[in-house]
Amino acid sequence: MHEPVVFIVDDDAAVRDSLTLMIEQAGIRVQSFDNARIFLSAYRPDFFGCIIIDVRMPGMDGLQLQEELVWRKIELPIIFLTGHGDIPMSVRAIKAGAVDFLTKPIIREKLLVCVRAAFAEAKNKISDIAQNRKALSFCLAKLTVREREVTVLAVKGYSNKEIGSRLGISHRTVEIHKSKIMRKTGALNLLDLARITREGGLCSGKP
């Protein structure tokens, strides 16, 4: 796991510079962006750390960016940066999953406490994801070769008849395989099975 980074998204250059100085003086890496769209364009799956977001920004504001991060399943813990009048808004943001919020003007000690708490949450999330992936991989490993073939085709949307035709088996046999697949993986339905195969790393290529 590489060193965590604080990603700052704020349209005020003076605030970005001030935050960067305080955080870098603590030996923590920083990357800053002057609006939400630029951050989203620069984002890579290997980004690790936390993100400090100004609530009020032109274009996409902080809450809209939070919604976009959730929609994209970007797991960076969020610290909101607010003015005094934004506190009720920030409370709603925390209920939506933000780690904390900082009120301007920012106190360095409070900033660093928040950042370190967010880093701890980021590490926990990565650990949870890894454990979940391991558990799902274990479930998928219970499948026979034929069941894996049926699974891959089923999550791609093929009907029982189409799967049977592709694999040279009857649609009734496909139904039996599907029943065993759902029991072994614990999937609630086909959508859940698709999630399990994706998160568990089952090859999505055609068998």
- Domain residue spans in the chain? 5-129, 142-199
In terms of DSSP bridges, do strands 29-33 and 100-103 run parallel, antiparallel, or are they unpaired? unpaired
**Residue 154: DSSP 8-state:** H
Within 62-165, strands assigned E span 78-82, 100-103
Verdict on whether the full-model pTM lies above 0.85: no
142-199: CATH, from 1.10.10.10, 1.10.3720.10, 1.10.1740.10, 1.20.1280.50: 1.10.10.10
pLDDT at residue 205 is higher than 50: no
pLDDT at residue 128 is higher than 70: no
Backbone torsions φ then ψ of 173, nearest 5 degrees: -65, -40
What pLDDT does 163 receive? 93
List of long-range contacts for 185-192, beta carbons under 8 Å, 24+ apart: 185/136, 185/139, 185/140, 185/142, 185/143, 186/139, 190/154, 190/155
Alpha-carbon span 164 to 24, nearest angstrom: 60
**Residue 100: DSSP 8-state:** E
Backbone torsions φ then ψ of 9, nearest 5 degrees: -125, 105
Model confidence at 122, pLDDT cuts 50, 70, 90, reads confident
Model confidence at 187, pLDDT cuts 50, 70, 90, reads confident
Same fold? 5-129, 142-199: no
Alpha-carbon span 4 to 117, nearest angstrom: 12
CATH number for the domain whose boundaries are 5-129: 3.40.50.2300
pLDDT for 82-103, tens place per residue? 876 666 776 766 666 677 888 8
